[in-house]
Structure 1
């Protein structure tokens, strides 16, 4: 299996402090996006916009992940991951403030800036974890992924109570505190690398290979595309699916969505332990099976929805961890890691941005509207995840 080049020990760049910085950055990589969901109706009423425009406030960041990945990768290569991360957090902060300013244009532009800032973090984190913690990258990928979901849970839980007392604008701006804390600790943890760009040379195997010329990055892109499509499609429509299929009230449907999100923390933390004791490929098999269980289970045995939501929730957290651990394993040096991460995320999130729209469109096209065909579409995307992921990880073992 291909591994990254020899790395400088983490102690030279902050050690435990860098771990804290990674955790604080991870809190910012999903929380500002999901914070808007609980107050979307208040935003729509206040701004006087249609449901379609309001929907852009949740789907635009995912599209930004895709479109901003190439320029973000270029910037990271020019500035180095340390300085690029500070720029990304700064853009995220400006976007957070602008989103809560007066007017529809401010909300949309701010949302796009939040997506662009998060894109930088999406690419920097795998590079830094792989570069500075080569012998602990699996557990740290798990902590990183779990923390993103913890940030989502915090904002989902507290945004509405805050908005009840202050209004939605301040409730969304409150989460700027995560970005400020991340900037301070990230600066302290990485200041000893100031001025270094592409800090690690390659391993002598030649110049960095373009991801588009290699099969494994394409397979990882397809797999991540299947995961992103399914995750965003199910996140958008799962409550309504359960209300229609099982007659659940809004509170019960919300519980199902919570299971899908919360158990991602368990999947993110457990999957690296399995990978460490066995292999990435063996760790991926329960991920693929668990994610397939949600659409498959809702089609065949919808009464067991708590089980299917729980299995898929753990799987989606574990899947993210495995895919980006595989990106690291497929890269010979920091430059390849950065380019491959940008390639996989750019294509994968572009597919993911289609999820909520296509699942909804297929539902509306039914005569009468139904959820069987949309769930079959999600099932097909997850089959792609399973096949492409297994193929990529099998090829890694033979390199």
Structure 2
């Protein structure tokens, strides 16, 4: 850990970091449950409604390089503060009650989350290097917890307060995170702040081993992100079509894909702390991910099991990828650059995933076919490549 912090300050930093993490996915998953209400109230076209859900992921892809430059200039602490303030501003603007405000607010919160995506792993690499697996797991689990909270509670809140207050109300989480992070910044040693800003500036040289690892993780995270956003977008419809569930039941059957990610996020660091080889952990995570498309194709009767296993796997693979970056990066600046490269590539692929899977489904739908075999095979292929790259990334480091 960072030697510039006392034990109490480190625990406070961790608590503040997790409060920030609670805001890095929750705003994205609060909208889909009430998007119909929003569309009706604002008279949105289908294209505009689609933008409200796709713009944040596009921000992840397009704004990660500028976010990395901002991180280099401001340092991790100020960048995280910018992130949570941006999320709060975006949530409030999105709920203002007009189409321009909804679109602008979505872009603002997407930009804020992008800065957080880049800055938080750098804080973990700098301040929790010796415990990076556990802290990355807690970070990933907390993001998924935020997703579960907003997915579950936004509709009941909207029934009482209306969709505008239901969406804006989640800004309370950002207010709490902003206050906590401000306190954490005051407890930061000046030397630590300078390390984050000065050594993080410019374009750090990764060195050949880290450059190779970064390239491998680009492919792995692209597969992870593509599969995650494709499945998140289409799993309820797949369950509706293949199993004959009504849409409400299909949504409930898909919920473990998000909820079980919390278990996977904690299981990976626990296994690593018990000295289970990272390669073995990677293999198990990849097999669990692969079970969803394979099971849906060969044994759809056990869909509940496949959904739960894949949910745990998507949380675990995210944790493992960012743990490897934190542990292997030779410096904070190198961690920042590697994280930016990996996230830019991965989220660019993720932004295409729902559209690509939908297009494949449309093209393969015909007499006697529900059109979902080809999309599931595509996800299976993507995850197979991801699994192979994870095995390469987790090879034992010599020397």
User: TM-score under structure 2 normalisation?
Assistant: 0.93
Count of residues paired in the alignment: 390
Larger mean CA deviation between 211-220 and 94-103 belongs to 211-220
Gaps of 5+ in 1: 1-5
Does 2:33 correspond to 1:38? yes
Does 2:146 correspond to 1:151? yes
Are the structure 2 counterparts of residues 226 and 367 from structure 1 closer, same or farther at C-alpha, using a change threshold of 3 Å? same
Q: What does 1:320-359 align with in structure 2 at a 5 Å threshold? A: 320-359=318-357
Q: 1:251-282: CA deviations, max 9, x gaps?
A: 32122211111000000011111122223222
Are the structure 2 counterparts of residues 28 and 186 from structure 1 closer, same or farther at C-alpha, using a change threshold of 3 Å? same
Are the structure 2 counterparts of residues 116 and 166 from structure 1 closer, same or farther at C-alpha, using a change threshold of 3 Å? same
Q: Which of 150, 160, 167 does residue 165 from structure 1 map onto?
A: 160
Secondary structure, counterpart of 1:164 in structure 2: helix
Q: What does 1:206-217 align with in structure 2 at a 5 Å threshold? A: 208-209=205-206, 214-217=211-214
Q: 1:35-87: CA deviations, max 9, x gaps?
A: 00100100111111222221111111011011111111111111110011111
Q: 1:71-107: CA deviations, max 9, x gaps?
A: 1111111111001111111111111111111321211
Larger mean CA deviation between 155-164 and 366-375 belongs to 366-375
Are the structure 2 counterparts of residues 385 and 85 from structure 1 closer, same or farther at C-alpha, using a change threshold of 3 Å? same
Is contact 1:280–1:326 with CA below 8 Å preserved after alignment?
Answer: no
The equivalent of 1:3 in structure 2 is none
Q: Which of 217, 220, 226 does residue 217 from structure 2 map onto?
A: 220
Is contact 1:69–1:345 with CA below 8 Å preserved after alignment?
Answer: yes
**RMSD (Å), alpha carbons:** 2.0
Query: What is the CA–CA distance in structure 2 between the aligned matches of 1:155 and 1:380, rounded to whole Å?
Result: 31
Does 2:19 correspond to 1:21? no
Q: What does 1:272-311 align with in structure 2 at a 5 Å threshold? A: 272-276=269-273, 277-311=275-309
Does 2:260 correspond to 1:263? yes
Measured after TM superposition, the shift of residue 213 of structure 1 is 8.7
Is contact 2:23–2:173 with CA below 8 Å preserved after alignment?
Answer: yes
Does 2:359 correspond to 1:361? yes
Are the structure 2 counterparts of residues 207 and 127 from structure 1 closer, same or farther at C-alpha, using a change threshold of 3 Å? closer
Query: What is the CA–CA distance in structure 1 between the aligned matches of 2:284 and 2:160, rounded to whole Å?
Result: 43
Are the structure 2 counterparts of residues 207 and 103 from structure 1 closer, same or farther at C-alpha, using a change threshold of 3 Å? closer
Q: What does 1:126-145 align with in structure 2 at a 5 Å threshold? A: 126-145=121-140
Secondary structure, counterpart of 1:332 in structure 2: coil
Secondary structure, counterpart of 2:41 in structure 1: helix
Measured after TM superposition, the shift of residue 166 of structure 1 is 1.5
Measured after TM superposition, the shift of residue 10 of structure 1 is 4.6
Q: Which of 82, 95, 99 does residue 104 from structure 1 map onto?
A: 99
The equivalent of 2:76 in structure 1 is 81
The equivalent of 1:383 in structure 2 is 384
Measured after TM superposition, the shift of residue 193 of structure 1 is 3.0
Larger mean CA deviation between 207-216 and 163-172 belongs to 207-216
Query: What is the CA–CA distance in structure 2 between the aligned matches of 1:38 and 1:207, rounded to whole Å?
Result: 42
Is contact 2:227–2:353 with CA below 8 Å preserved after alignment?
Answer: yes
Gaps of 5+ in 2: none
Q: Which of 238, 241, 247 does residue 241 from structure 1 map onto?
A: 238
Measured after TM superposition, the shift of residue 169 of structure 1 is 0.9
Q: 1:130-177: CA deviations, max 9, x gaps?
A: 211122211111111111111111111111111112111111000101
Is contact 1:13–1:189 with CA below 8 Å preserved after alignment?
Answer: no
Measured after TM superposition, the shift of residue 198 of structure 1 is 3.2
Are the structure 2 counterparts of residues 74 and 207 from structure 1 closer, same or farther at C-alpha, using a change threshold of 3 Å? closer
Is contact 2:56–2:109 with CA below 8 Å preserved after alignment?
Answer: yes
Measured after TM superposition, the shift of residue 19 of structure 1 is 1.1
Query: What is the CA–CA distance in structure 2 between the aligned matches of 1:117 and 1:62, rounded to whole Å?
Result: 12
